Amino acid sequence: MDTPAAAIEFSNIIKRFGASPADAGEVIALDGISLTVPAREFLVIVGPSGSGKTTLLRLINRLSEPSGGTVRFAGEDVRKIDPIELRRRIGYVFQGIGLFPHMTVAENVAITPRLLGWDRDRRATRADELLNLVRLSPADYRNRFPRELSGGERQRVGVARAIAAKPMVVLMDEPFGALDPLTRDALGQDYRRLHEELGLTTVMITHDILEALMLADRIAVLQQGRLIEQGTPKKLMAAAETDYVRELMQMPRTQATRLQKLMDEQ
Amino acid sequence: MNGLDPRVADALARLPDYLGQHVVISVTALLLGLALSLPLAVLATRRERLRWPLLAFASLIQTIPGLALLALFYPLLLGLSALTESLFGKGFSALGFLPSVLALTLYSMLPVLRNTVTGIEGIDPAVKAASLGVGMTSRQSLWMVELPLALPVIMAGIRTSAVWVIGTATLSTPVGQTSLGNYIFAGLQTQNWVSVLFGCVAAALLALVVDQLLALVETGVAARKRLRIVAGAIGLLLVLAAALVPGLSRPAATYTIGTKTFTEQYILASLIQDRLRANGLSAARRDGLGSTVIFNALASGEIDAYVDYSGTIWANHMRRTEIRSRDEVLNELRLWLKRERGIEMLGALGFENAYALAMRRDRAETLGIRTIEDLAARSSQLAIGGDYEFFDRPEWATLRTAYGLTFRQRRQMDSTFMYGAVVNGEVDVISAFSSDGRVARFDLLVLEDPKRALPPYDAVLLLSPGRADDQALRRSLKPLVGTIDVALMREANLRADRDQDKETPAQAARWLWEKIKENE
């Protein structure tokens, strides 16, 4: 197998915001993060707001550049890869979805193939194929505009767009955050299935610890720009090393107990 | 055109020319403005630092009154033309088309600049992030995402800009560009309100039609309805064609006659045109030119002939202040014009349009006044009225010292009310123009000036350097020299100025020609 073991590798990443190191208003967003994501892994990053999750994700496809340290993509320093080419090789699902409102569903889905110069027929075939993958009937959806879709449908199109050019790696920034719980659960499971079937490497950010536990191969916890713990859901649930992570991992179970209690009382 | 008011018929006859030229300058200015402001606006969204200076500059332009902006381009271009002439041996016309189009171009930029910046800035940040995230270059993001999404807002800016430009283009008349403004400027001068209204309505209708067609394109763009976009575009092309085709099919005139901005000038230009036509020559008009503009236009050959006044050239161009007799001034003028500018003075028409003092005839007789000298003896008991300019002019200072005039009262008023004031007896004497039709209408007595303190203002027919030896032109116009006395000119002016039985300048010109023939 010629795929390198590590799809993404962060080494000692520093990211500062502010004019200069001497600037009093300077913020350290990421403080010495080292993290490796093996190929085909589903990594979920959790952490409180402002802990640096999105910043870390944006370093991978060079939407942002680190102040120090190195990011490697498939073993190669990303600084040596043209950012445009890099982004076309990596799928990205955005927090706000960001579908292009003036393009149809099919045009949205096939945008990266279009940028890569695929011809019209190949793009149309690919768009239908992708809509099927995300369980939207191509005949019904391909010619609709984003404003004619429900929130769940939009996010399915967002996922289809991210994987359209057959990327090895998909980045997801709170992809299902704005959806109702039922839709959210269904979409999460559907995506996990796609991740398996297509042999993707996925890095996903979420606020929902239950979602993280259900989907992840491995969870990384960020706090104030530091990676405070990482491990399989099972490991973190059983033996977290810090109070914060322990409390975080316990949360679903604590809630379930409270719910059970509530049911018993009635 | 039977049954039509002659003023409406006259206006309609000029419509193809005026409308065509109006559309040409408006469209050229709009296209140039778009070509400049769209890239600048995009640049402003890409370079934060450029945004403020750009928008501030465009706003600043907007605060300059349209007329001043147009007027400023004339000396600027004149200087530039002189420069290219000395560098490359070839100048260009600083009159008419260029200053109008350049000023209107600047004028058109603000709405497009501002709306394009606002439109691009206003795009959902998630969509902008997505355009980068899917791997678009900055240029692809602009063309595939930002411009299409900002297009409705940009189109709204283009509409505003189009309406502004079409409206402001009426102001290009004074810099020598024919436009629908010719109706308005000429109408204001001759108090022909039909003409003024015609010009306003024509410009407003044109703006309205263009705005609605652009609105069709705009909604088509917003709703992605190709049919509407095409319909709007076809409509715009039809307007363009309708405005341009009649103008193109007319043969180009051989001669161009210029006019300044008052009734007498329009009548005399019509008279000249008629004489040329009667001799089988064709002549176009450049109406409503400023005093300096028209002189330079003649010197550079942009117009071929016009009527000026000896005192104007004496003071403004020859920079002379001393008072000489009519004949002496005319002789020096002829030599100076030929020597310095190559301009040919074909001759004096016979009347003066000079500053003069005028009184009610009965009042003058009662007081026994016939000359300014007589007036001086009585002036301490009398009141004088003058237009806003008169008491600041050198003519007044000369007059006062020469005769020792000291009036009981001095009143400044608009020239329209000045005549009423002397007729009603509110003032005893007014400053008047000697060939003004109202002198005839109110039967005023123009006081003689025995000391010749007022400079002579003989109407003189001037030909451009290139036409100095044009025998056909000279033959056609020679019959006018020395044939129009001041009473005749006053009567012709009155016919076009009066409120009842008002004639168009063209009609007054034909009446004048009949009289000239009778007098022969």
A96 to B126: CB separation less than 8 angstroms, yes or no: yes
Say which DSSP state A150 is in.
-
Write the CB contacts of B197 (distance below 8 Å, at least 6 apart in sequence): B187
- What total number of domains does chain A contain? 1
Q: Is the pTM of this model over 0.90?
A: no
Distance CA B304, CA B476 (A): 13
> Could you tell me if residue A90 is inside a domain?
yes
> Could you tell me if residue A74 is inside a domain?
yes
Phi, psi of B406 (to 5 degrees): -135, 110
Chain A residues whose beta carbon lies within 8 Å of the beta carbon of residue B131: 98, 100
The predicted pLDDT at position A2 comes to 46
Map out the domains of chain B as residue ranges. 12-182, 255-350+461-519, 355-446
Q: Residue B286 in 3-state DSSP?
A: strand
Write the CB contacts of A206 (distance below 8 Å, at least 6 apart in sequence): A44, A45, A46, A174, A176, A177, A212
B129 to A85: CB separation less than 8 angstroms, yes or no: no
Q: How far is CA B20 from the centre of its chain?
A: 17
Question: Are B99 and B28 spatial neighbours (Cβ–Cβ below 8 Å)?
Answer: no
Question: Are B257 and B286 spatial neighbours (Cβ–Cβ below 8 Å)?
Answer: yes
For residue A79, give both structure tokens: 């600084």
For B152, which residue in chain A has the nearest alpha carbon? A102
A98 to B124: CB separation less than 8 angstroms, yes or no: yes
Select the residue from A55, A64, A94 to test the B interface by mutation, using most B Cβ atoms within 10 A: A94
Query: Half-sphere exposure of B295 toward its Cβ, with a 13 Å CA cutoff?
Result: 15
Distance from CA of A95 to the nearest CA of B (A): 8
Question: Are A37 and A9 spatial neighbours (Cβ–Cβ below 8 Å)?
Answer: yes
Select the residue from A55, A78, A87, A163 to test the B interface by mutation, using most B Cβ atoms within 10 A: A87
Nearest to A100 among B135, B145, B224 (CB): B145
Question: Are B457 and B336 spatial neighbours (Cβ–Cβ below 8 Å)?
Answer: no
Q: Residue A172 in 3-state DSSP?
A: strand
For A159, which residue in chain B has the nearest alpha carbon? B134
Task: Tell me which amino acid residue B293 is.
Answer: V
Distance CA B289, CA A243 (A): 88
Question: Angle B147-168/B6-46 helices, nearest 10 degrees?
Answer: 140
The predicted pLDDT at position A177 comes to 79
Chain B residues whose beta carbon lies within 8 Å of the beta carbon of residue A100: 127, 130-131, 144-145, 149
Nearest to A101 among B128, B140, B149 (CB): B149
Distance CA B291, CA B174 (A): 10
| pLDDT means over runs of 10, chain B (520 residues) | 69 83 91 93 87 85 80 78 75 76 88 91 89 90 92 91 92 83 80 86 93 89 82 89 71 82 89 92 83 84 91 85 86 93 93 91 92 91 86 82 90 81 91 88 90 88 92 92 92 85 88 89
Interface of A with B (CB under 8 A): 61, 63, 84-88, 92, 94-102, 111-112, 115, 161
How many CB atoms are located within 10 Å of the residue A33 CB? 22
Chain B residues whose beta carbon lies within 8 Å of the beta carbon of residue A161: 134
Distance CA A56, CA A58 (A): 6
In the stretch 91-150 of chain B, residues with CB closer than 8 A to chain A read: 124-137, 140, 144-145, 148-149
Distance from CA of A62 to the nearest CA of B (A): 9
SS (H, E, C) B175-208: HCCCCCHHHHHHHHHHCCHHHHHHHHHHHHHHHH
For B138, which residue in chain A has the nearest alpha carbon? A84
Nearest to A88 among B135, B149, B224 (CB): B135
**Stretch (H or E) spanning A218:** strand A218-223
In CATH terms, B255-350+461-519 corresponds, of 2.70.170.10, 3.40.190.10, 3.40.50.2000, 3.40.50.2300, to: 3.40.190.10
A100 to B130: CB separation less than 8 angstroms, yes or no: yes
Query: Half-sphere exposure of B286 toward its Cβ, with a 13 Å CA cutoff?
Result: 27
SS (H, E, C) B361-407: HHHHHHHCCCEHHHHHHHHHHCEEEECCCHHHCHHHHHHHHHHCCCC
A100 to B133: CB separation less than 8 angstroms, yes or no: no
Distance CA B151, CA B147 (A): 6
Distance CA A205, CA A132 (A): 25
B136 to A84: CB separation less than 8 angstroms, yes or no: yes
Distance from CA of B226 to the nearest CA of A (A): 14
B134 to A99: CB separation less than 8 angstroms, yes or no: no
Say which DSSP state B447 is in.
P
Task: Give chain A's end-to-end CA distance (angstroms, integer).
Answer: 58
How many CB atoms are located within 10 Å of the residue B41 CB? 27
B134 to A87: CB separation less than 8 angstroms, yes or no: yes
What is the number of residues in chain A?
Answer: 266
For residue B463, give both structure tokens: 């030909």
How many CB atoms are located within 10 Å of the residue A27 CB? 12
User: How far, in Å, are A14, A46, B83, B296 from residue A27 at the CA level?
Assistant: 11, 20, 58, 68
For A171, which residue in chain B has the nearest alpha carbon? B133
Say which DSSP state B455 is in.
P
Distance CA B243, CA B203 (A): 12
Write the CB contacts of B55 (distance below 8 Å, at least 6 apart in sequence): B44, B110, B113, B114, B117
Chain A residues whose beta carbon lies within 8 Å of the beta carbon of residue B136: 84, 115
A100 to B131: CB separation less than 8 angstroms, yes or no: yes
Q: Residue B432 in 3-state DSSP?
A: strand
Which neighbouring-strand residues pair with A28?
Answer: A16
B12 shares contact with chain A (CB less than 8 Å): no
User: How far, in Å, are A39, A93, A205, A228, B235 from residue A214 at the CA level?
Assistant: 19, 19, 13, 21, 61
B129 to A102: CB separation less than 8 angstroms, yes or no: no
CATH number of B355-446: 3.40.190.120
Q: Closest Cα partner for B273 from B230, B303, B243?
A: B303
For B150, which residue in chain A has the nearest alpha carbon? A102
B190 shares contact with chain A (CB less than 8 Å): no
B136 to A115: CB separation less than 8 angstroms, yes or no: yes
The predicted pLDDT at position B370 comes to 92
Distance CA B105, CA B28 (A): 8
Chain A residues whose beta carbon lies within 8 Å of the beta carbon of residue B148: 102
Question: Are B423 and B360 spatial neighbours (Cβ–Cβ below 8 Å)?
Answer: yes
B127 to A161: CB separation less than 8 angstroms, yes or no: no
B131 to A95: CB separation less than 8 angstroms, yes or no: no
For B222, which residue in chain A has the nearest alpha carbon? A102
> Could you tell me if residue A47 is inside a domain?
yes
Chain B residues whose beta carbon lies within 8 Å of the beta carbon of residue A88: 134-135
Tens digits of pLDDT across chain A (266 residues)? 444 568 899 999 999 887 555 556 678 889 889 999 999 999 999 998 888 999 999 999 999 999 999 999 998 999 999 999 999 999 999 877 789 999 999 999 999 999 999 999 999 999 999 999 888 999 999 999 999 999 889 999 999 999 999 999 999 998 887 788 888 888 899 999 999 999 999 999 998 888 999 999 999 999 999 999 999 999 998 888 888 899 888 888 888 899 999 888 86
Question: Are A194 and A162 spatial neighbours (Cβ–Cβ below 8 Å)?
Answer: no
Distance CA A140, CA A34 (A): 45
A-B CB pairs within 8 A amount to 60
Asked: is B12-182 a CATH 3.40.1160.10 domain? The reply is no
A115 to B135: CB separation less than 8 angstroms, yes or no: yes
Distance from CA of A112 to the nearest CA of B (A): 6
A115 to B127: CB separation less than 8 angstroms, yes or no: no
The predicted pLDDT at position B119 comes to 92
Distance CA B296, CA B288 (A): 14
Q: Closest Cα partner for A45 from A13, A70, A77, A3?
A: A13
Burial class (CB in 10 A: 0-12, 13-18, 19+), B388: exposed
> Could you tell me if residue A1 is inside a domain?
no
Nearest to A98 among B129, B140, B144 (CB): B129
For residue B70, give both structure tokens: 């147009």
Residue range(s) defining the domain that contains residue A179: 6-265
Q: Same topology for domains B255-350+461-519 and B355-446, yes or no?
A: yes
The predicted pLDDT at position B428 comes to 93
